[in-house]
Amino acid sequence: MIGKLKGLIDSYGEDHVILDVQGVGYQVHCPSRVLQTLPRAGEAATLFIETIVREDLIRLYGFSQDQEREWFRLLMTVQGVGAKVALAILGILKASEVANAIAMADKATITRAPGVGKRVAERIVSELKDKAPGLAQVDEAAVTLSRSLEDNVAARPVAEAVSALTNLGYGQPQASAAVAKAMQTAGAEASTETLIRMGLKELSQ
C-alpha cells in the first residue's frame, strides 16, 4: 500500500498530476485546491496517498497533508459519499474547515461543493458529528450551542437570538459563536434582547 510519494512534477491533467518518482510516473488524483498549490512541472513535490483498489481499477488520491487524507477516508464512510464527492468537498475546504463545518452543523458550507446536495450534507453532519469537534478550530461552547439548535433543544431566547442574527445576514456558524460568547458573559438566563445586543457587539469586533 502506497502511503506517500515524493518526486518531481511531470505534468498536470484536469483533476490529476503525474508525479515522477525515480523514473516511474504515478497518476495521482487530487482535490482542485491541492492541485493549485503544487509547484510547476520539474519541481519537487510530496503527496500523502490514499490507494483505492477495485476489480476494474487501482487509483491513487493525493493530499498535501495527512489530515486531508484522513478526512477523505472519513467522508467516504458516509452513505452516498464516494471518492468524487469527498474530493469535491476537500477541493473547496481545508481539513480544518471541514471539521469546523461538521462540528457547527453548517450544512450550507458543505453544500458549496459541486455535486453535494442538502440531503448528502445532512448525512455528513449527522454521521461524522462525533468525530469533528476534536479536530475543529472553534470554541466548544459554540459547538454545543449549534448542536442544541440542530436538535431543537436550545432555550427559546438562544434560538431567537441566533435566528435574529442570521436574519441580519450573518451565517449561522458566526451567529452561534457570537451568541455562545454572549452567554458566557450574560449567563444562560439572559433575555433574547440581551443576547442579540451582545452578539452584535461580538460580531462587530
112: domain CATH number is 1.10.150.20
Among the ranges given (40-49, 115-124, 179-188), the one the predictor scored with the smallest mean pLDDT: 179-188
- pLDDT confidence of residue 154: 62
Final residue before a domain boundary, out of 42, 63, 84: 63
Of 90, 123, 81, the C-alpha closest to 105 is 123
Q: Which grid coordinates belong to 198? A: 451582545
Same domain, 53 and 72: no
More confident of the two residues 143 and 57: 57
Q: Are residues 22 and 78 in the same domain?
A: no
How high is the pLDDT of residue 134?
54
Q: What burial class does residue 122 get, using C-beta atoms within 10 Å of its C-beta: 0-12 exposed, 13-18 middle, 19+ buried?
A: middle
Q: What integer is the mean pLDDT of 7-28?
A: 96
pLDDT of residue 152: 60
Beta-bridge mates of residue 25: 20
> In 10 A of CB 18, how many CB atoms?
16
Res 112: pLDDT: 92
The rounded distance, in Å, linking the Cα atoms of 169 and 32 is: 29
Are residues 146 and 199 both part of a single domain?
A: yes
Q: Name the strand (E) or helix (H) holding 189.
A: none
Both 54 and 71 in one domain: the answer is no
Last residue of one domain, picked from the residues 135, 163, 189:
135
Question: CATH number for the domain including 38?
Answer: 2.40.50.140
Please check whether residues 43 and 91 belong to one and the same domain: no
When divided into structural domains, the chain yields a total of: 3
Q: Over pLDDT 90: what percentage of the chain?
A: 47
Q: Which of 154, 111, 150 is nearest to 129 (CA)?
A: 150
Q: pLDDT digits over 54-79, tens only?
A: 888 899 999 999 989 999 999 999 99
Is residue 52 domain-shared with residue 93, that is, in the same domain?
A: no
Residue whose C-alpha is closest to residue 110's, from 142, 139, 88: 88
- Residue 167's H or E segment, with its range, is helix 156-167
Q: Is the pLDDT of residue 147 over 70?
A: no
Residues 149 and 196 in one domain: yes
pTM score, two decimals? 0.72
What's the pLDDT at 113? Answer: 93
For residue 14, which amino acid is it?
E
Predicted local confidence at residue 146, as pLDDT: 64
Domain shared by 129 and 77, yes or no: yes
**Which residues constitute the domain of residue 79?**
66-135
Residues 159 and 189 in one domain: yes
Write down which residue in 46, 63, 80 finishes a domain.
63
Do 125 and 149 fall into the same domain? no
Question: Mean pLDDT over residues 136-162, rounded?
Answer: 66
Give 170-173's long-range contacts (Cβ < 8 A, gap of 24+).
Answer: 170/203, 171/106, 171/108, 172/104, 172/105, 172/106, 172/108, 172/146, 173/100, 173/101, 173/104, 173/106, 173/109, 173/138, 173/142, 173/146
pLDDT for 136:
52
- The DSSP H or E segment spanning 161 is helix 156-167
Residues 13 and 58 in one domain: yes
Non-local (6+) Cβ contacts of 66 within 8 A are 48
Q: What is the mean pLDDT of residues 83-108?
A: 89
SS3 144: helix
pLDDT at 63: 96
